[in-house]
Amino acid sequence: MKLVLFDCDGTLVDSQHVIVAAMTRAFARAELALPPREAVLGIVGLSLVEAMRRLGDDDPHFPAERLADLYREAFRELRTEPGFFEPLFPGVRGVLDKLSAREDVLLGIATGKSQRGVAAVLGHHGLDGRFVTIQTADDAPSKPHPAMVLQAMAATGVHAEDTVLIGDTSFDMVMARAAGARAIGVTWGYHPRETLRQSGAERLVSDADTLVGVIDEMWEPVA
């Protein structure tokens, strides 16, 4: 049995616009200058408090926890507003359809989102029940700590050599490697391809339609 773990933001769904909008509200309410868009998207995948700490350059006086609370509040508001949209990236639904139909594959999620946030995404896109393990920032230390991957493997009984994580950030790649799992970087997300490669991506994928084939190639026996 193989375990295929997916990151959420930047890998399954394109949430950059709502993330930036929520950050904009949070920093405005805290009366702080919003960091550049590139910096905001660069911390996607981390747990919220850790993300805010990085945006504050790890200044011990930076109000990371307050900003995290303000961000959660802003995101909840945005979710109820007309025009809210977290679309699946092109081709992602087809990948999930193919993999979930196979008897030799289990699907999981490892994300910096909360369980509530993941449930909202899956419910909106009709993906409930596709993933047998969902590991979030509610349940483990922030990426790149390997706990999410280790917990997913423990929950499914799948060994590290039979586990692959698919993600769009260096945090995902480092997390997978630290857990002994394999790592595929997708280039449609929020970190540059060279950053993904340097962080441990075994393969890079730029088109979701090729992803299933790349996964299969990784597990082909060596002649």
DSSP letter string, 109-125? EE-SS-HHHHHHHHHHT
Cα–Cα distances (Å) from 30 to 43, 51, 59, in that order, read 19, 16, 16
Mean pLDDT by 10 residues, the chain (223 residues): 97 95 97 95 92 93 96 93 90 97 97 92 94 95 96 98 97 98 97 96 96 92 58
- Choose the catalytic residue: 7, 14, 162, 172: 7
Domain ranges, ordered by start, for the chain? 2-14+86-218, 16-80
Catalytic residue list contains 128: no
C-alpha–C-alpha distance, residues 103 and 136, integer Å: 25
64's CB contacts (< 8 A; 6+ apart) are: 49, 50, 52, 53, 56
Task: Tell me, yes or no, if 59 is annotated catalytic.
Answer: no
Of 209, 139, 189, nearest to 201 (Cα)? 189
Return the CATH number of the domain spanning residue range 2-14+86-218: 3.40.50.1000
pLDDT at position 220: 79
What pLDDT score does 200 carry?
96
Of residues 9, 14, 168, 172, which has the active-site annotation?
9
pLDDT at 222: 54
pLDDT of residue 83: 82
Structure token pair of residue 55: 């945006």
